[in-house]
Amino acid sequence: MEFFEIVRGRRSVRAFRSDPLTRAQIEAVLEAARWAPSPHGRQPWRFVVVTTVAARARLAAAMGAEWRRQLALDGQDPATIEARFRKSHERIVGAPALIIPCLYLADLDTYPDAERQAAETTMAVQSLGCAVQNMLLAAYTLGFDSGWMCAPLFCQETVREALGLGDDLHPHALIPLGYAARDPVRRPRRPLDELVIHWE
């Protein structure tokens, strides 16, 4: 496909068919992520791949319990909490494969002042976003679909415990992979004249 066709065609899928993906398909997506730009070439990302039914169910249950707790803190009523939990749970257990991109800060340059160190960490987060975008575009190019769930950001320790990950891994997202069960609703995009706020 032509590049802009890929960019415009990629969509965020929330319901997947049960058809499995091969290891080669998943590795191709990860290979695309590997080539993302990164600060000082440090590649501050690590990827967790979850494909077994048991592991997906365990992760969904752990994250779901924490999400229910957070939604209750927000004052949402029990029926709404249950409906939102059910949709999220189905999205996680229904995808044949999950990739969890984790921020990995151990190899970053270090500075004696907090301001520059914070900027270094921000660059690493931006780089992780580039790696995720590469994955999303690669999946679509290869003929299957993906999504971008930010839920792990709100329960990093829960994700680490559910999957037995080290404290040096900071889960930032959850990327379900598979074949779309139905076409998602596409949200309209703002026109360029609203997005470009300065040009000289």
**pLDDT 10s digits, 74-130:** 998 999 988 888 888 999 999 999 999 999 999 999 999 999 999 999 999 999 999
**How sure is the predictor about 14, in pLDDT bands with cuts at 50, 70 and 90?**
very high
The percentage of residues in the chain with a pLDDT greater than 90, rounded to a whole number, is 87
Q: Which residue has the tokens 């290979």?
A: 31
Q: Where along the chain do its domains lie?
A: 21-54+96-181
The predicted structure's pLDDT at residue 1: 76
Domain covering 21-54+96-181, topology? NADH Oxidase (3.40.109)
Distance of alpha carbon 113 from alpha carbon 111, whole angstroms: 6
Which residues is 104 bridged to in the sheet? 169
Say which amino acid occupies 198: H
Q: Write down the pLDDT at residue 167.
A: 97
Torsion of CA 73, 78, 83, 88, to 10 degrees: 30
Mean pLDDT of 139-150: 96
Q: 16: which strand partners?
A: 180
With beta carbons less than 8 A apart as the criterion, state whether 149 and 176 touch: yes
**Which tens digit of pLDDT belongs to each residue from 129-138?**
999 999 999 9
What is the reported pTM?
0.94
Which whole-number Å values give the CA distances from 85 to 4, 45, 66, in the listed order?
Answer: 35, 28, 10
Report the distance separating Cα 131 and Cα 125, nearest Å.
10
Q: How far is Cα of residue 107 from the mean position of the Cα atoms in its chain?
A: 22
pLDDT at 85 (0 to 100) = 86
